Structure 1
Amino acid sequence: MTENFNVFFNENKVIRDELKEDAIYLKKYTEQLNVDKEKNIHIAVLTERNRIAREIHDSIGHSISSSILQVEALKISTSNHTSLQGLDTLQNTLSSGMSDIRDSIHNLYNESLDLKRRIKDICDEVNSLDIDLIYKLEGPLTYDFKFDILSIIRESITNCLKHSNATKLHISLLTQAKFYTIIIKDNGSKFSQLESISNKGIGLLSMDEIARKYDGFLNYGFDKGFKIYITLMKG
């Protein structure tokens, strides 16, 4: 009976471990689906904005440009002072409207993801943490890169709220000659090496995948608070 029990116990342990592993991968898969869904929605919004921008440029923009040229021609052909003043006013109004349209088109064609503002918005939503943000990312950043940075920031804040007794969180986004650096550190004092790393496992795994995606690396550890150091190579 003892032997049978031991066999039964070991078999159950194996099954339990397999179920636990499946649950971890399922959670990670679900999180990735949510990330992909959010990204696809944003891409759809960008596509629609670009379509609207093209229509504005092709129709309204060309019409106003043509009107400005016609007003200029009328100014040349008339000598009446009152008429010239009216035409000047009309031309200035049209030119101002054209400038507004150009600004709108520029904003619509923009990648529509203000990374610094989005990070600040995320930080402002957290009332239980005093978040200190240093943002020094420079150069053209692709939409995918910005989205991945946001994913790292969100995951870091979530981990801090769930698994730490920290009251402060420092986030530094820095630009180096050939790479970008992300440093995230809290002031938490409650830390169990095994438990903390286990709890943070899914988030750290996702961050590590992002780092590898850009030929970078991820380091983390505890030194008067939990610290994450990520390097992302420039393309």
Structure 2
Amino acid sequence: MNRLIDKLAILTICTIGLLLTDSFTAPVITVLAAITVSAAVQLLTGTLAAYVLIGASAFLCGFFPLFFCTMPLMLYDAFWEKKWWLILPAATIAFKLEVLSPNQLLITAAAAAVAYIIYTRISGLEKTVEKLTQLRDEVTGKNRQLSEQNIRLAHAQDNEIHLATMKERNRIAREIHDNVGHLLTRSILQSGALIVINKDEQLKEPLESLRFTLDSAMTSIRESVHGLHDDSIDLKKVICDSISTVDSRFTVELDCDVSDTMPGNIKLCIIGIVKEGLSNAAKHSNGDRISIIVREHPAFYQLVMEDNGSCTVIKESGIGLKNMTDRAEALKGRITFTPSPNGFRIFLSIPKT
């Protein structure tokens, strides 16, 4: 739109020069022709047809001198096409220069100067806008990268806090087990010994009550210690640590999606089966890829572990497979081992209680 307004201003100046002629029809035809050519050039900008139209219009000045008065408009188009020299054929007007009055030549020169000034101003403005747009895009990109970096840092910080919490829970569980647990165990033994050697019937009931209290305290502490220990097990991290020790010829893919409320005994079961499965794959599989999927469903937990080695039959049921079976059955779960030409598959399902 700005370009059309600029062209209108240049054409207005050119029209003043055209009005200085005695004819009425010639200026009108010239203006219409100039408008048509300029519009076509803008429509076909950047093409060979646009260049031809500008050059042909300039060349016509040698045959129709009055058309020279509209050359500033063509010059403006030539500037935008980055080929100002297309207007040079207009120099053929020199052979019929006497047809135009000095005032017409002066107005045409002024219009050409205005066209150059407008083009310089507008092109400079567009370059500035382009630079500002590029700068805005760069700033937007940097802000997006910074935002993503902040998210990654926040996740890393959350992981560090989570690991620190797990370590602290383990430490507390060990402290309770090693200190309070041992003291209570010794107290229970001492109370039992006192009950055995006691001959006073009046002290029998208080000693039995003391032993019951100590047993209850021991049971409570044992449950607390197990609870702290179970919560401190990071299933995904432990599996990843196990994967890191696998033979380098294997590419291991892990997909673990479980909640933080998974019981510790189920975590330990899954970890034990995964470790055993990785060990068996390293010993017996001729494949190079292992897939581990751990899922939590509304009614059960699931583990699917398979490699791409060729295994058509289980030659013998070793201690490793028996241990995995025992782990699953201890939690009322079900585990199957499926050999095939495409690999060996372990499927574990443990119901929620």
**Distance in 1 of aligned mates of 2:171 and 2:321:** 30
Shift of 1:46: 5.3
Counterpart of 1:47, as a letter, is A
- Selected match of 1:205 from 315, 318, 322: 322
SS at match of 1:150: helix
SS at match of 1:193: coil
Pick closer, same or farther for the CA change 1:46–1:169 going to 2, 3 Å.
Answer: farther
Counterpart of 1:125, as a letter, is T
Structure-to-structure mapping, 1:41-80, within 5 angstroms: 47-49=173-175
**Distance in 1 of aligned mates of 2:323 and 2:173:** 27
SS at match of 1:181: strand
Shift of 1:201: 2.4
Higher relative contact order (CA 8 A, sep 6+): 1
Pick closer, same or farther for the CA change 1:194–1:212 going to 2, 3 Å.
Answer: closer
**Distance in 2 of aligned mates of 1:112 and 1:177:** 23
* Deviation by residue 1:127-156 (Cα, 9 ceiling, x = unmatched): 231000010122512322222211011000
| Map of 2:280 onto structure 1 | 159
Between the two proteins, the alignment pairs up a number of residues equal to 134
**Distance in 2 of aligned mates of 1:49 and 1:167:** 43
* Comparing 116-125 and 156-165, the one that deviates more: 116-125
| Map of 2:113 onto structure 1 | none
**Distance in 1 of aligned mates of 2:269 and 2:171:** 18
* Deviation by residue 1:96-122 (Cα, 9 ceiling, x = unmatched): xxxxxxxxxxxxx57322111111111
Q: Could you tell me which runs of 5 or more consecutive residues in structure 2 were left unpaired when the two chains were aligned.
A: 1-168, 179-227
| Map of 1:84 onto structure 2 | none
Pick closer, same or farther for the CA change 1:49–1:139 going to 2, 3 Å.
Answer: same
**Distance in 1 of aligned mates of 2:170 and 2:241:** 22
Shift of 1:47: 2.4
Identity of aligned residues (%): 26
Segments of 4+ moved more than 4 angstroms: 43-46, 49-52
TM-score, normalised with respect to structure 1:
0.51
Contact 2:239 2:274 in 1 (8 A): yes
1:226 aligns with 2:352: no
Q: Which has the larger share of helix?
A: 2
1:116 aligns with 2:242: no
